[in-house]
Amino acid sequence: MTTNLLEKDPQPCRVIGVLDDGAASLSATALALLRRADLVIGGTRTLALLEDDIAPQAVRRDLTGCLSSVPGWIAEARAAEQACVVLATGDPLCHGIASYLASRLCIQALEVMPNVSTLQLACARLGLAWQDARIVSVHAKDAGEWAVGAAPAHGLYALAQAVRQHDRLAVLTSPDNTPARIARLLVAEGLGEDFQISVAERLCTPDERVWADMAPAQAAAQDFADPNVVLLVRTRQRPDAVRFGLPDAAYHQRQPDKGLITKQEVRAVSLARMQLRATSRVWDIGAGSGSVGLEAARLCPQGHVWAMEKNEGDVEIARRNVRDFGVSNHTLVHGKAPEGLDAWPDPDAVFIGGSGGELAELIALCLKRLRPGGWLVMNFVTLENLAAATQALQAGGAAWDVLQLQAARSKPILHMHRMAAENPVWIVCAQAGSASATAPAAAVEEGA
């Protein structure tokens, strides 16, 4: 039996967690190490908070805006055999600097001395058990107010996904992503009646205040003192939604003539052929009513769906379906492909629900942009489009296969039932640069 024993460095850089009551929050050991340090690294506020406990001759380095320089500062101090301390907030390994430093320095170069997390402290103030809380940090670059359908680059995106999947959340805020902005996100996502929000301001200081169990609409218009943390508790049961194979009637559709929705049976096979994973990035081109993209969004809770539809009326119908589905990982764009696709990240799967006459160009672009192992799936109801698609795939060197699917549904006739056939649909699946196609990922829907 082999044991991997982590050997301690005799002179590591100490990463010390601090609260806003300064020296009072530190253990005797941590305080002694700080007072003997030759180099002290910290943020502007933390350095000022502990100024009286830093040796006069010690070098002070403000890491604000200079995070990438910190590993080099530590390495230089260690090479010079200088005692080094990094001041962090709360627990440095909970969305803190310690994990960043550990990824750039050997783990033996650091000794982490954690404090109570500010989130843990806020839960203690409210008597709220937090072992099942989802921790989310929105301490990111300001991306502005949350907008429904925002892409993953938005600073509040992770929170928007988390509130859909968890009942208790502990949120590390920032001066830009404030409690009020978080409350406005909940309202925008239709969750204003589903959560209560609590805000803990300036913990461990004489100005400490805790605002408990507010409605998001109330908190959305209120200013809170910085620094602060947010606790979200769901008050309405989270829906246990069907992820896959919803009936066609579950979607808003164009009236009086129903159409531009991939029928349930074809949708199920197309989604299966897309080989989706929890993290898949999906394109839904020619979204129509949005049915395929919306079920893909539910099947890929850590992924994202980018959908495009050229018809303005159908865009509004799709938006209604997005609201009813309650997903936050779906971006719907009014436009005509291929224009605008260059702004989307490379996909793991593509579903084409209508090409607007640029089918060959669109297929070539999708084959080029698909990530390794990605699939393109297309549904056709006309021989001409089927022929155009297979010719484009052949020209693009893709491996492809075609499945003809024809379903019949029972319908009442007097006191009996008959079978009414749906239009036959060809499901064309392709993968770029493969020798054979045995399971695909993008679908074209035309009246399917």
Q: CA-CA distance, 64 to 296, in Å (whole number)?
A: 41
At 51-75, the pLDDT tens digits run 999 999 999 999 999 999 999 999 9
Q: What's the pLDDT at 443?
A: 39
pLDDT digits (tens, 9 = 90+) for 379-390: 998 999 999 999
Q: Are 73 and 99 in contact (CB under 8 A)?
A: no
Residues 258, 262, 263, 264, CA torsion sign: negative
Tell me which of 356 and 202 has the higher pLDDT: 202
136, two tokens: 């989310």
The kind and range of the H/E element at 359 are helix 359-369
| Sequence-distant (≥ 6) Cβ neighbours of residue 425 within 8 angstroms | 263, 266, 379, 380, 381, 404, 405, 406, 448
pLDDT band at 439 (very low <50, low <70, confident <90, very high): very low
- pLDDT surpassing 70 at residue 356: no
Q: Is the pLDDT of residue 214 over 70?
A: yes
Would you report the helix, strand and coil content of the chain in percent, each value rounded to 5? 30, 25, 45
Nearest-angstrom CA–CA distance, 187 and 175: 20
Contact call for residues 313 and 380 (beta carbons, < 8 A): no
Question: What is residue 423's predicted lDDT score, i.e. its pLDDT?
Answer: 87
Q: Over range 4-27, report the average pLDDT.
A: 87
Helix (H, G, I), strand (E, B) or coil at 110: strand
Architecture of the domain made up of 120-234: 2-Layer Sandwich (3.30)
Distance CA 301, CA 212 (A): 30
> Residue 421 corresponds to which amino acid?
A
| Region 95-119 average pLDDT | 93
Cα–Cα distance, 367 to 392 (Å, whole number): 10
**Residue 16 and residue 113 in contact, taking contact as beta carbons nearer than 8 Å:** yes
User: How many other CB atoms sit within 10 Å of the CB of residue 198?
Assistant: 21
CATH class of 248-431: alpha beta
Q: So what's the pLDDT on residue 433?
A: 72
Q: Is the pLDDT of residue 436 over 50?
A: no
Domain spanning 13-116, CATH class: alpha beta
Classify residue 329 by burial, with Cβ atoms within 10 Å: 0-12, 13-18, 19+. buried
Closest CA to 110 of 96, 125, 120: 96
Q: What are the tens digits of pLDDT across the range 301-312?
A: 999 999 999 999
pLDDT at 444: 39
pLDDT band at 371 (very low <50, low <70, confident <90, very high): very high
Residue 80 and residue 77: Cα distance in Å, rounded? 5
| Predicted pLDDT of residue 7 | 66
**pLDDT at residue 6 above 80?**
no
pLDDT the model gives residue 268: 96
394, HSE (Cβ side, Cα atoms, 13 Å): 7
Minimum mean pLDDT among 34-48, 114-128, 431-445: which range?
Answer: 431-445
Whole-number pLDDT of residue 441: 41
Buried b (16+ CB within 10 A) or exposed e, 129-161: ebeebbbbbbbeeebeebebbbeeebbbbebbb
The more confidently predicted of residues 169 and 263 is 169
What is the pLDDT at residue 446?
Answer: 37
Q: What is the mean pLDDT of residues 326-351?
A: 95
Contacts of 259 (CB under 8 A, 6+ apart): 253, 288, 447
Q: How much is the pLDDT for 445?
A: 39
Average pLDDT of the chain to the nearest whole number: 92
Q: Where are the domains of the chain?
A: 13-116, 120-234, 248-431
Lowest mean pLDDT among 112-116, 123-127, 157-161, 405-409: 405-409
CB 426 within 8 A of CB 379: yes
Stretch 239-243: mean pLDDT: 87
Q: Which helix (H) or strand (E) holds 44?
A: helix 44-49
* Averaged pLDDT for residues 273-283: 97
pLDDT at 397 over 70: yes
CA distance 195 to 163: 9
Taking CA atoms, 195 is separated from 203, 218, 305, 391, in Å, by 23, 12, 26, 53
pTM listed for this prediction: 0.88
219-252 CB burial, b ≥16 within 10 A, e <16: bbeeebeebbbbbbbeeeeeeeeeeeebeeeebb
